[in-house]
Amino acid sequence: MSKNAVADRIKELREQINFYNYKYYQEDTSLISDREFDLLLAELIRLETAHPEFADPNSPSQRVGGTVSKTFATVKHEYPMLSLGNTYSEGDLFDFDKRVSKGLAGEDYAYYCELKFDGVAISLKYRDGNLVQGITRGDGVQGDDVTANVRTIKTIPLVTRGKVPAKFEVRGEVLLTKQAFAQLNKEKEEAGEELYANARNTASGTLKMQDSAVVAKRNLTCFAYSLLGDDLPPTHAESIEKLRSWGFNVSPAGKKCLSMQAVIDYIHYWGQKRHELDVETDGIVIKVNSHAQQQQLGFTAKSPRWAIAYKYQAEQACTALRDVTYQVGRTGAITPVAELAPVQLSGTTVKRASLHNANEIERLHLHYHDYVFVEKGGEIIPKITGVDIRKRQAGARPVKFIENCPECGTRLIRQEGEAQHYCPNEKGCPPQIKGRIEHFIHRQAMNIDSLGEKTIAQLYEAGLVRSPADLYTLTLADVLPLEGFKQLSAENLINGIAASRAAPFTNVLFALGIRHVGKTVAEKLARHYRNMDNLMAAGKEELMAIHEIGERIADSVTAFFDDPEHRQEVARLKAAGLQFALPEDEGPASGMLNGKTFVISGVFLRHSRDELKELIRKNGGTVVSGISGKLNYLLAGDKMGPAKLAKAKALGTTIISEEDFEAMIQQENDF
Ligand code: IVH
């Protein structure tokens, strides 16, 4: 292919991909199959990789991210990012309307109403139809340049459609959809990590992440709600239509309202309807529609006089507290739970709400049979915000935290300065024992899916299993008498347990259920110590010297291994044949890459990046992060940044593919 032909094809592919992306994300229409789409993208990536001179940061190939920003540059906003005056009262809206009417000296005017999205504001700058910069609100005057992360948001056009002004700016809200947020929390839960409390803070944190490839995986979305620039159409409604036609994601909910009464109707309609949307909204934004009139009304120091936000009260319900029950977690932590008379709240029925700990009960001055207020704002879990004291019966007794474990009767302890009560009977308290085994078999741990909560309870009650190590002593004869088991299901269970012996060391470490050691921490510890003996010998200070391991984790790890019963359990698991070390690693498998340096970039078909790193290391090579004149090889995968590629080319670095690399080390390693 001639250079011109390549350039033409790249252009054509980008246009096609942008078009299909637009149809898919903005209009919900799939015009081609996923496979056909992937083929187009693969062809584009191949051509861009082979011809880095045609690299373009706004190519649709760049959606996957891959840029790591240690810090974000601070950028001054061309138009300050103001906030909005807001109110919870409809009466205030009529006052606002009076001010507008007065400010416009009797002229006719209209409003434009929109949903108020509960996310993070973003400012997007475009030049000649290309996205050039994405900046966070910051303090309103200057914000952070998060362009690399913004480029991964599929509902933000990298290149606009149709004829656009040479220069314009778009404001919008970046959010995580409820679905994306739930998915993220599901992954967190499976990894045994603490859940994110709400979608807004998570979206905000995501936008400031250093690795844009991680941002890309989070599936942020964006709604555009204002257009700024020199040649604006006469009204906001027309701006919104323009944005839509240029390829921006604008909410279909926006509506022109000719009177304050129409605004109020709009507010009432969306008050209910908003719960059906896949994004969080916390109110309505009311804007004067004409841009000339907006200018006439102007701004106060902080906000425009031509707009106001009406905020919905976080939906609240009042219901009877029937009882307080207590849950015992696998770590022995006791969680008080309010058992409520069922009540409808933001589209779901609420029957229970966590009271977290004794301090919370104290804070609420909770009494038995109180009527309590329950709220469920942007948070996923309903919370009790207060008590309706007027409804309290005379002589009602205050809720008193239990003193003994509801499951095993052991006296509870509460460490100095800690909010949580614990049942110290770690070895004998049934939910703690069962909880530890449930954790042990978890998908991210030993992944024994032939076992479930119900079977664990059966095994426990039959006296067959008291700790994870007991699982490996189970025989068919043990299982067959249990209710619901037949030859096949019993064999299946035993085989599933046996197969878990192959689970990697990291999973085993996580499976032990050491407090504060989630999957990520387990991975760090495994990588650092490589085997269980090394880890068990580590002292607190040594542990704390590892990046991101703090005192809390170090204390928990050392306390765990100081316990003779835990050491014995570990020894039994080891004897059962579980993996207690990362795969053998006795120096270089070959010295064929001795002295050679590599940069790994992009996505690979047959190996993960970590596997490639390991292979390079095993064969005597070194992996470095930056491309320099001294670099020997750039190991380039799919979707690597064109800038990196261009730099490597310019420096004359040898660029190799995954296959080239495999061939290089083929003689010594069998794939
Ligand atoms: S217009 C001059 N429209 O609410 C301010 N803002 O308190 C113009 N927001 O920072 C903002 N949805 O992040 C506007 N449809 C919408 C909005 C919206 C959410 C956020 C935005 C802004 C904050 C204002």
- What confidence tens digit (pLDDT) does each residue in 601-635 have? 988 887 878 788 888 888 888 888 788 888 899 99
Q: End of a domain among 367, 402, 422?
A: 422
Distance between Cα 224 and ligand 1 center (Å)? 10
Alpha-carbon torsion, ordered 367, 315, 276, 223, to 10 deg: -130
Question: What are the b/e assignments for 628-658, b being 16+ CB within 10 Å?
Answer: eeebbbbbbbbbbbbebbebbeeeebebbbb
CA-nearest residue, atom 21 of ligand 1: 121
Residue (of 582, 572, 571) closest to 528 by Cα position: 582
What CA–CA distance (Å, rounded) separates 192 from 507? 12
Q: Are residues 480 and 544 in the same domain?
A: no
What CA–CA distance (Å, rounded) separates 452 from 450? 7
Q: Which atom of ligand 1 is nearest to the CA of 226?
A: 1
The amino acid occupying position 79 is Y
Q: Which atom of ligand 1 is nearest to the CA of 84?
A: 7
What CA–CA distance (Å, rounded) separates 393 from 373? 16
Task: Give domain status of residue 607, yes or no.
Answer: yes
CA-nearest residue, atom 2 of ligand 1: 82
Q: Which atom of ligand 1 is nearest to the CA of 251?
A: 15
Q: Are residues 123 and 45 in the same domain?
A: no
Give every strand in the sheet of 86-87, ordered side by side.
Answer: 86-87, 307-311, 281-288, 111-117, 255-257
Q: End of a domain among 455, 485, 502?
A: 502
Distance between Cα 63 and ligand 1 center (Å)? 26
For ligand 1, residues with CB inside 6 Å are 82-84, 114, 116-117, 121, 137, 173, 225-226, 285, 304, 309
Q: Are residues 93 and 146 in the same domain?
A: yes
Q: Which atom of ligand 1 is nearest to the CA of 120?
A: 13
So what's the pLDDT on residue 581?
95
So what's the pLDDT on residue 422?
96
Tell me the torsion sign for CA atoms 227, 233, 235, 237.
Answer: negative
What CA–CA distance (Å, rounded) separates 410 from 424? 7
- The CA-to-CA distance between both ends of the chain, in Å, stands at 34
**Which of 79, 81, 83, 113 has most ligand 1 atoms within 8 Å of its beta carbon, as the pocket-test mutant?**
83
Residue (of 608, 624, 616, 600) closest to 669 by Cα position: 616
C-beta of residue 331 within 8 angstroms of C-beta of residue 515: yes
CA-nearest residue, atom 13 of ligand 1: 121
CA-nearest residue, atom 18 of ligand 1: 116
Distance between Cα 444 and ligand 1 center (Å)? 40
What CA–CA distance (Å, rounded) separates 547 from 527? 12
Task: Give domain status of residue 493, yes or no.
Answer: yes
Question: Domain of 630: which CATH number?
Answer: 3.40.50.10190
Burial class (CB in 10 A: 0-12, 13-18, 19+), 19: middle
The amino acid occupying position 607 is H
So what's the pLDDT on residue 381?
76
Residue (of 383, 352, 382, 355) closest to 367 by Cα position: 355
Assign residue 566 a region: left if phi > 0, alpha if psi is -120 to 50, beta otherwise? alpha
Long-range contacts of 476-485 (CB under 8 A, 24+ apart): 482/455, 482/458, 483/458
Kindly list the distances between the CA atom of residue 304 and the CA atoms of 96, 260, 289, 661, in Å, as whole numbers in the listed order. Answer: 12, 18, 13, 59
So what's the pLDDT on residue 671?
47
Question: Domain of 329: which CATH number?
Answer: 2.40.50.140
Q: Are residues 239 and 121 in the same domain?
A: yes
Identify the bridge partners of residue 338 per DSSP, sorted by sequence position: 324, 353
So what's the pLDDT on residue 378?
63
Question: What are the b/e assignments for 394-429, b being 16+ CB within 10 Å?
Answer: eeeeebebeeebebbebebeeeeeeebbbbebbeeb
**Which of 113, 116, 135, 222 has most ligand 1 atoms within 8 Å of its beta carbon, as the pocket-test mutant?**
116
C-beta of residue 142 within 8 angstroms of C-beta of residue 76: yes
Distance between Cα 124 and ligand 1 center (Å)? 14
Kindly list the distances between the CA atom of residue 163 and the CA atoms of 26, 235, 242, 273, 291, in Å, as whole numbers in the listed order. Answer: 18, 19, 10, 35, 21
Task: Give domain status of residue 463, yes or no.
Answer: yes
Residue (of 330, 337, 512) closest to 431 by Cα position: 330
Long-range contacts of 88-92 (CB under 8 A, 24+ apart): 88/310, 88/311, 88/312, 88/313, 90/264, 90/267, 90/310, 92/308
Helix (H) or strand (E) holding 181: helix 178-190
C-beta of residue 218 within 8 angstroms of C-beta of residue 174: no
Which domain range does residue 408 map to?
Answer: 314-422
Question: Domain of 467: which CATH number?
Answer: 1.10.150.20
| Beta strand segments in 137-252, E | 142-144, 167-176, 220-228
Distance between Cα 473 and ligand 1 center (Å)? 61
**Which of 87, 200, 225 has most ligand 1 atoms within 8 Å of its beta carbon, as the pocket-test mutant?**
225
Distance between Cα 319 and ligand 1 center (Å)? 34
C-beta of residue 188 within 8 angstroms of C-beta of residue 194: yes
Q: Are residues 217 and 127 in the same domain?
A: yes
C-beta of residue 53 within 8 angstroms of C-beta of residue 113: no
Active site residues: 116
Distance between Cα 250 and ligand 1 center (Å)? 13
C-beta of residue 596 within 8 angstroms of C-beta of residue 519: no
Q: Which residue has the tokens 């991964």?
A: 152
Longest dimension (CA), the chain: 91
- Pairing mode, if any, of strands 130-136 and 120-127? antiparallel
Which residues have C-beta within 8 Å of that of residue 629, sequence separation ≥ 6?
Answer: 651
C-beta of residue 188 within 8 angstroms of C-beta of residue 161: no
User: How is residue 421 written in tokens?
Assistant: 């009560």
Q: Which atom of ligand 1 is nearest to the CA of 82?
A: 2
Task: Give domain status of residue 61, yes or no.
Answer: no
Q: Are residues 376 and 359 in the same domain?
A: yes
Question: What are the b/e assignments for 494-505, b being 16+ CB within 10 Å?
Answer: bebbbebeebeb
Q: End of a domain among 527, 544, 575?
A: 575
Distance between Cα 116 and ligand 1 center (Å)? 6
CA-nearest residue, atom 17 of ligand 1: 116
What CA–CA distance (Å, rounded) separates 306 from 286? 8
User: How is residue 3 written in tokens?
Assistant: 């250079």
User: How is residue 226 written in tokens?
Assistant: 């204002």
So what's the pLDDT on residue 115?
98
So what's the pLDDT on residue 670?
45
Q: 10-residue block means of pLDDT along the chain (671 residues)?
A: 93 94 85 89 90 91 80 93 93 96 95 97 97 95 95 95 95 96 86 82 93 90 96 96 96 96 97 91 96 95 93 89 95 95 85 94 95 81 91 95 97 91 94 95 92 95 96 96 95 96 96 91 90 94 87 95 96 97 69 85 82 83 83 88 82 88 69 47
Residue (of 328, 398, 406) closest to 365 by Cα position: 398
What does the DSSP 8-state code read for residue 89?
A: -
What CA–CA distance (Å, rounded) separates 662 from 46? 19
Strand, coil or helix: 497: helix
Task: Give domain status of residue 590, yes or no.
Answer: no
CA-nearest residue, atom 23 of ligand 1: 83
Q: Are residues 204 and 335 in the same domain?
A: no
The secondary structure of 17-49 as a DSSP string is HHHHHHHHHHH----S-HHHHHHHHHHHHHHHH
How many residues are given for the chain? 671
Task: Give domain status of residue 652, yes or no.
Answer: yes
Q: Are residues 337 and 268 in the same domain?
A: no
Angle at 72 between CA 67 and CA 74, to 5 degrees: 145
Q: Are residues 215 and 300 in the same domain?
A: yes
What CA–CA distance (Å, rounded) separates 337 from 335? 6
Q: Which atom of ligand 1 is nearest to the CA of 116?
A: 12
Q: Are residues 160 and 268 in the same domain?
A: yes
Distance between Cα 306 and ligand 1 center (Å)? 13
Task: Give domain status of residue 97, yes or no.
Answer: yes
Q: Which residue has the tokens 């490597």?
A: 648
Number of domains in the chain: 6
Task: Give domain status of residue 277, yes or no.
Answer: yes
Q: Which atom of ligand 1 is nearest to the CA of 118?
A: 19
What CA–CA distance (Å, rounded) separates 650 from 282? 51
Q: Are residues 120 and 34 in the same domain?
A: no
Half-sphere exposure for 190 (CA within 13 Å, toward CB): 10
**Which of 79, 82, 84 has most ligand 1 atoms within 8 Å of its beta carbon, as the pocket-test mutant?**
84
Q: Are residues 34 and 120 in the same domain?
A: no
